Amino acid sequence: MRRLWLIFAQATTVALALLFVVATLKPEWLRRPELRSVRQSLSGSGPLTLTSNPPRSSAGDDARGLRGAARRAAPAVVSISASKAPQRDRQDPWQRLHEGLRGEVQRPPQTGLGSAVIVSPEGYLLTNNHVIEGASDIEVQLSDGRHAKAELVGTDPETDLAVLRIPLRELPVIEFGRVEDLAVGDSVLAIGNPFNVGQTVTSGIVSALGRKELGINTFENFIQTDAAINPGNSGGALVDAGGALVGINTAIYSRTGGSLGIGFAIPVSTARQVMEALVRDGVVARGWIGVQTRELNEEMIEAFKLPLREGVLISGVLVNAPAAAAGIKPGDVVTRVAGTPVRSPGELLNAVAALAPKSRAQISLQRGDKALQIELTVQQRPKPKAQE
C-alpha cells in the first residue's frame, strides 16, 4: 500500500511540474479552443465567423431605413456658388486725401453659397431666388465632381424660386413626388450643402403643412419640417421616404443662424408650376386688381354696420387699377372672387392671383347693408419693386 502511495505522489509531482512548464512557456495550449480561435482570427492568422442576424437585402434596407431614399435623391442635388459683380464706391474728398486714393474704390466680389435640384434631363434646375439674386456668375458642382456655368432661365421673387440651366448631359434627375400624399409625421430628408461642408443629408418628419402668413414670401404655403436645415441648404431638396422631391428648402426659424428644428420648404406643386411658367413664358402670370386689404374684425363690422361676419375689408384702392375702374371703394368687404369664398387677405391674394390676366372676373362684395356683384378685367400682377 505504501508503495502505491509513493508511485501516486511521484506521478502527481511530475504532472504538476509539466503543467507548470507548459503554463509558463506555452500558455495558449491551456486555453479553451473557442477562445483561441477568436484570438487567432483577430491576429490575422485565420478567418473569423460570428453568429449574427443574416445580412439584409437592399429591399429590406429601403423598408427599414432611409438609405434608399438618400441614394436615389442625393445625386440630383447640386451645390451652387453665386458671385456678384464687385461694387464701386466713390469716396468723399476727405477720405481720398487721407488715404491717398483717387476716383472709385472697388470692393471685393461677394459670393453666396446654396443648393439646387436637377429636375429634368435637359439640365433645368430648381433653386431659391435669394440664392442667385443679383449674381453675375453662377457655378454649379454636381455630386459626381463635374462643374458647369449655369444660365439663369427666370426668377419668381414672390415665391422665392428660380430656374437655372446647365449644358451637361447624362444628368441624374430627381423624381417629383405628390404633396397631396404627405401627412404630418411622415419621414423626410433634407439634402443640400450647409455651410459649404459638402453634400449633407439630414432626416426628420413633416411637422406641419400649409404654413402661411409667416412674412417670408408674398405667396406662402410651406411644408414645415424638423429635419436640420442650415445656411447653404437653401434651394436644396426635401424628399419623402421614397426619394421623391416634395419641397424646395427655403427658410428656417432661428435666433442664432443655425437650425432649431423649424424649417420650411416650398411645396413641389408650387415649384413645378412656377418652373413650367418660367421655362414657357419667362414670367409667372398672376392676376391683379389693385387693392389693399385688412382683416375684418368685430369693430369694423360695427363701424360699417355690416350684416356678415366673414370677408376681407378693402382699406385702399390704387388709382387706375382694375378695382378702381370697376367702382370698388375703401370700406367694401369682398366675400367672393370668381365664385371662390375669401375670408382673409391671404385667401383674397391667392384667389386673385389664380385668375388669368386680361380675363373677366366677378367680385362679390358687401357695401354697408347692400350686397353687390361687380365685374372687372384682371391685369397682370406687377413685378415687385426689388425685382425691377
Question: In which band, very low, low, confident or very high, does the pLDDT at 51 lie, cut at 50, 70 and 90?
Answer: very low
Q: What is the pLDDT of residues 247-299, one digit of tens each?
A: 999 998 877 777 788 999 999 999 999 999 999 999 999 999 999 999 988 88
In a domain, 54, yes or no: no
Clarify whether residues 239 and 300 are in a common domain: no
Catalytic residues: 130, 160, 234
Clarify whether residues 185 and 276 are in a common domain: yes
Clarify whether residues 309 and 294 are in a common domain: yes
Q: How far apart are CA 6 and CA 302, in angstroms?
A: 122
Clarify whether residues 29 and 118 are in a common domain: no
Residue 250, domain extent: 179-281
Clarify whether residues 184 and 273 are in a common domain: yes
Q: What is the pLDDT of residue 88?
A: 55
In a domain, 294, yes or no: yes
In a domain, 124, yes or no: yes
φ, ψ of residue 297 in degrees (nearest 5): -120, 180
Clarify whether residues 262 and 301 are in a common domain: no
In terms of phi and psi (left: phi > 0; alpha: psi -120 to 50; beta: otherwise), the region of 347 is: alpha
Q: What is the pLDDT of residues 329-379, one digit of tens each?
A: 999 999 999 999 999 998 999 999 999 999 999 999 999 889 999 999 999
Q: How far apart are CA 307 and CA 298, in angstroms?
A: 11
Clarify whether residues 129 and 150 are in a common domain: yes
In a domain, 52, yes or no: no
Clarify whether residues 299 and 266 are in a common domain: no
| CATH number (domain holding residue 212) | 2.40.10.10
The end-to-end CA distance of the chain, in Å, is: 120
Q: How far apart are CA 259 and CA 79, in angstroms?
A: 19
| CATH number (domain holding residue 325) | 2.30.42.10
In a domain, 6, yes or no: yes
CA distances from 311 to 300, 315, 333 (A): 11, 13, 6
Q: How far apart are CA 267 and CA 222, in angstroms?
A: 6
Clarify whether residues 98 and 158 are in a common domain: yes
Clarify whether residues 365 and 305 are in a common domain: yes
Clarify whether residues 258 and 306 are in a common domain: no
Residues 6 or more apart in contact with residue 373 via CB below 8 angstroms:
362, 363, 364
Q: In this predicted model, which residue has the larger pLDDT, 94 or 276? A: 276
In a domain, 78, yes or no: yes
For residue 174, give the amino acid letter. I
